Structure 1
Amino acid sequence: MDAKLEFIKFMVRSGVLTFGDFTAKSGRKTPYFVNTGKYRTGAQLAQLGEHYARCIVDNHLEGATLLFGPAYKGIPLSVACASALYLNHGVDMGYAFNRKEAKDHGEGGVIVGMQPQDGDHVIIIEDVITAGTSVRETVPLLKAAADVKIDALVISVDRMERGQGDLSAVQEVEQEFGIPTYALVTTREIIELLHNHPVDGKVVIDDAMRARMEDYLARYGVK
């Protein structure tokens, strides 16, 4: 099965990707919703980690030395991905994440796990970028810790919709920091691959839902 279709079906089965009537944080009425907080089991995390790991290997990013998961949702993602890289691909990469509040006792600091070192090549692992806030907080944090190079940002879904201006959050991050971004799937791919394609016998994107999603992208999507 195509890796992208496999991942899309995995999200649907996990209850992470749902279709209906939702209101996004932006206030926009959206016909679909992605909630990575729905990943709740060891089996789901193992599969999720492998999808991220495969994306890293397929895009020849395995030369990086550190996976960084911004708190909070990036934490399990970085752990699952690091584990899958080692178990399934023989790549032993360090991982780290940040605390929301600095600790002034014990080991202290805001970064937990492998501490960034000068010369490290970092991959930031995220779920879905809506406004790019966590990335804008993470890049200065990493740069302050050491002289690192951020090789890539890997996310699960690129919603492909505009922020405040004409660019998507992903495009804004790429433009602002010069960081290449790799999405496991995009909204466009979800529409194309899942249209009239049953998941466990049920079609979740029929002609009507496709029309709604196309209309949403026409109104809010990047050009």
Structure 2
Amino acid sequence: MPSNQLAPYQKELLEQAEAVGALKFGEFVLKSGRISPYFFNAGLMSTGAILNTIANAYASTIVSTFSSSPRPIDVLFGPAYKGISLAACTALVLASSHAQSLGFAYDRKEVKDHGEGGRLVGVPVSGQRVVILDDVMTAGTAVRGAVGMVRAEGGKVVGVVQLLDREEVGGGKDVDVRVDGEKVRSTVDDVEEFLGEGARVVSVLKMRDLMLYLEERGKTEDLEKMREYRARYGRRD
């Protein structure tokens, strides 16, 4: 798929997200204080049809990213609570549409002290190559916590797949993309370093895909605001 063209699953995902109000364009104040020209709330994507689209999008991203690895991945991990449905549905789609049968696991918010007990539910992760599914990383705190749980159980995290990469550098509303000539680090940079050599953070969608989506629809005013925001806060690849 050319870099200047949306994949069918990306286009379908964006259309459905906008239709239910999960993706909005305008002016939105973020926790960082930045005024963003768009807002994405994956929690509003909560119907069967949209979940099917999301799972297919995750599955396609996983296949294109990890299938060429010398050793395939074994387990999808979905951090509680939003990640649970993502891991389960994506595992189903990988089996039904891509002939890849992976296990899935997730964590409990509170450790269970009866029955089978323990913190993790699903297939064992010990000795397995694990990919974590996330929606949107802000500071990466939740992902680091998930990595810690997998490692504590003997698993190896080889990647993270997030639904949307905002492609921003860290910091607050007044941060410049460079300080003393050096590039300001992004959350993705920090998480990849935390994961270690060979592990990857990839995404179903990037901010640039949202811009392409607007361009294809001729929404020039929203597109210009996105360009200005990216020029100020965007990560430099």
Specify if TM > 0.5: yes
Partner residue of 2:12 out of 6, 9, 19: 6
Deviation by residue 1:168-218 (Cα, 9 ceiling, x = unmatched): 2112111222330111121012112331x33xxxx6xx2221121111122
Determine the structure 2 residue equivalent to 1:174: 192
Between the aligned residues of both structures, percent identity stands at 38
What is the count of residue pairs matched by the alignment?
Answer: 214
- Map 1:1-223 → 2, pairs under 5 A: 2-3=7-8, 4-61=10-67, 63-118=72-127, 120-146=128-154, 148-164=155-171, 166-178=184-196, 179-195=199-215, 197-198=216-217, 206-223=219-236
Deviation by residue 1:68-105 (Cα, 9 ceiling, x = unmatched): 01112211111111111111112111101111221212
Conservation of the 8 A alpha-carbon contact between 1:51 and 1:184: yes
Query: What TM-score, normalized to structure 2?
Result: 0.84
Conservation of the 8 A alpha-carbon contact between 1:79 and 1:95: yes
CA offset at residue 44 of structure 1?
Answer: 1.3
CA offset at residue 61 of structure 1?
Answer: 3.6
Q: Give the letter aligned to residue 75 of structure 1.
A: I
Conservation of the 8 A alpha-carbon contact between 2:66 and 2:73: no
Q: Give the letter aligned to residue 125 of structure 1.
A: L
Q: Give the letter aligned to residue 7 of structure 2.
A: D
Q: Which moved more, 1:127-136 or 1:4-13?
A: 4-13
Deviation by residue 1:51-76 (Cα, 9 ceiling, x = unmatched): 10011112234821100011122111
Q: Give the Cα separation in 2 of the matches to 1:71 and 1:182.
A: 20
Q: Secondary structure at the match of 1:127?
A: strand
Q: Give the Cα separation in 2 of the matches to 1:163 and 1:25.
A: 12
Q: Give the letter aligned to residue 2 of structure 1.
A: A
Q: Give the Cα separation in 1 of the matches to 2:110 and 2:12.
A: 37
Q: Give the letter aligned to residue 131 of structure 2.
A: I
Q: Give the Cα separation in 2 of the matches to 1:72 and 1:163.
A: 25
Query: What TM-score, normalized to structure 1?
Result: 0.89
Q: Which moved more, 1:90-99 or 1:18-27?
A: 18-27
Q: Give the Cα separation in 1 of the matches to 2:67 and 2:145.
A: 23
CA-based RMSD: 1.8
Q: Give the Cα separation in 2 of the matches to 1:49 and 1:43.
A: 10
Conservation of the 8 A alpha-carbon contact between 1:14 and 1:44: no
Residues 2, 140 of structure 1: alpha-carbon distance in 2 compared, 3 angstrom cutoff: closer
Q: Give the Cα separation in 1 of the matches to 2:52 and 2:213.
A: 23
Deviation by residue 1:15-62 (Cα, 9 ceiling, x = unmatched): 221111212122221110110001111121111101100111122348
Structure 2 alignment gaps of length 5 or more: 1-5, 176-183
Q: Give the letter aligned to residue 38 of structure 2.
A: Y
Q: Secondary structure at the match of 1:155?
A: strand
